[in-house]
């Protein structure tokens, strides 16, 4: 029931959290960002990126300026809305916890997996739409901003599939964590029954369903950490909009 105390090198909270929950060693990468990108981008991506960086700009770029305060507010609203959706999802409801506490051994992880995938889709759709709108705002300002918007569009296209594939592995990792917590919870209950107490010898919770509370909290933490990763490109575009 106890989280791993493995030391994890610096990196996004999502990576560090998954490494701790799954007890996986994540060594510090020896490659620079440019070296890693060179492995991820195909030759067609390289051509598109070169065109965005060095090619002619679309007609109609006249150096228009726009106030980014509305976009700042929209981003804040989207982040708050997604975080609220994650925190208030019915999968984590107390009513469901009480129902499952009487037969937690029969709880199926498929319910959690499907909900995680659904919340991933919600994040992807909302953040992707906002990212596109921010690019349109940038393209209406200066030639330099227009080129930045073009580069962002290329990078989203080039890395989107890889990001989707990598993030799709998260529910599988959480599934293993789910099973470990279930087994530990059942063992704690068995120990408590033998000892005639409410806890196991090592102090792990022996209340029926307690391990589900632990898992739900961990799952929410992972979802919120994934939200932070997914919204980073939007925050980068907002930073560009703040430039005067």
Tell me the pLDDT tens digit for each residue of 220-243.
999 999 999 999 999 999 999 887
Q: Would residue 147 count as lying in a domain? A: yes
Boundaries of domain holding 96: 69-242
In order of 33, 39, 114, 158, the CA distances from 43 in angstroms are 18, 10, 35, 10
Residue 241: per-residue pLDDT? 87
Q: Which of 11, 165, 158, 140 is nearest to 63 (CA)?
A: 140
First-to-last alpha carbon distance for the chain, in angstroms, is: 51
- Mean pLDDT computed over 149-169: 92
- Residue 206 in any domain: the answer is yes
Interacting residues of 163 by C-beta distance below 8 A, sequence separation 6+: none
Structure tokens at 80: 């708050």
**101 in any annotated domain:** yes
Determine contact, residues 191/206, Cβ cutoff 8 Å.
Answer: yes
**Hey, what are 75's tokens?**
């981003």
Residue bearing the bigger pLDDT, 205 or 49: 49
Residue 189 resides in a domain: yes
What is the Cα–Cα distance from 62 to 57, expressed in whole angstroms? 11
**Residue 27 vs residue 175, higher pLDDT:** 175
pTM of the model: 0.82
Token pair of 85 as six digits: 């959706």
Helix, strand, coil share (%) of the chain residues, nearest 5 = 70, 0, 25
Question: 57 lies in a domain?
Answer: no
Residue 76 has pLDDT above 50, yes or no: yes
- Amino acid 140: pLDDT: 76
In 3D space, the residue among 86, 114, 85, 22 whose CA is nearest the CA of residue 216 turns out to be 86
199 φ/ψ angles, rounded to the nearest 5 degrees:
-150, 160
- Would 230 be classed as within a structural domain? yes
Q: Please classify residue 21 by burial: count the beta carbons closer than 10 Å to its beta carbon, then call 0-12 exposed, 13-18 middle and 19+ buried.
A: buried
CB distance 78 to 127 below 8 Å? yes
Mean pLDDT of the chain: 82
Give the separation between CA 177 and CA 212, rounded to whole angstroms: 11
Q: Within 10 A of 30 (CB to CB), how many other CB atoms are there?
A: 6
Q: Which residue, chain included where needed, has tokens 């107490």?
A: 197
Does residue 207 fall inside a structural domain? Answer: yes
Angle of CA points 230, 231, 234, to nearest 5°? 130
Please tell me the predicted confidence (pLDDT) of residue 24: 66
Q: Which of the residue ranges 18-32, 156-170, 197-211 would you say has the lowest mean pLDDT?
A: 197-211
For residue 61, being part of any structural domain is answered with no
Token pair belonging to 78: 């989207």
Mean pLDDT for the stretch of residues 43-61: 82
Counted domains in the chain: 1
């Amino acid at each position: 029931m106890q989280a791993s105390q493995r030391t994890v090198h610096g990196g996004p909270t999502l990576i560090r959290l998954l490494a701790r929950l799954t007890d996986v060693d994540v060594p510090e990468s020896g490659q620079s960002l440019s070296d890693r990108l060179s492995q991820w981008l195909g030759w067609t991506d390289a051509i598109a990126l070169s065109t965005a960086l060095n090619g002619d700009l679309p007609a109609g770029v006249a150096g228009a300026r726009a106030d980014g305060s509305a976009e700042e507010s929209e981003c804040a609203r989207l982040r708050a809305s997604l975080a609220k959706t994650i925190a208030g999802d019915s999968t984590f409801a107390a009513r469901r916890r009480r129902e499952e506490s009487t037969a937690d051994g029969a709880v199926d992880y498929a319910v959690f997996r499907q909900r995680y995938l659904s919340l991933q889709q919600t994040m992807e759709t909302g953040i992707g739409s906002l990212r596109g709108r921010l690019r349109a705002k940038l393209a209406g300002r200066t030639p330099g901003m227009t080129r930045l918007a073009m580069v962002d569009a290329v990078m989203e296209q080039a890395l989107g599939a890889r990001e989707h594939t990598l993030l799709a592995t998260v529910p599988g990792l959480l599934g293993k964590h789910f099973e470990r917590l279930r087994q530990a919870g059942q063992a704690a209950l068995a120990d408590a029954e033998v000892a005639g107490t409410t806890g196991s010898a090592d102090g792990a919770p022996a209340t029926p369903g307690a391990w589900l509370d632990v898992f739900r909290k961990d799952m929410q933490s992972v979802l919120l950490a994934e939200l932070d990763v997914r919204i980073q490109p939007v925050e980068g575009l907002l930073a560009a909009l703040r430039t005067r």
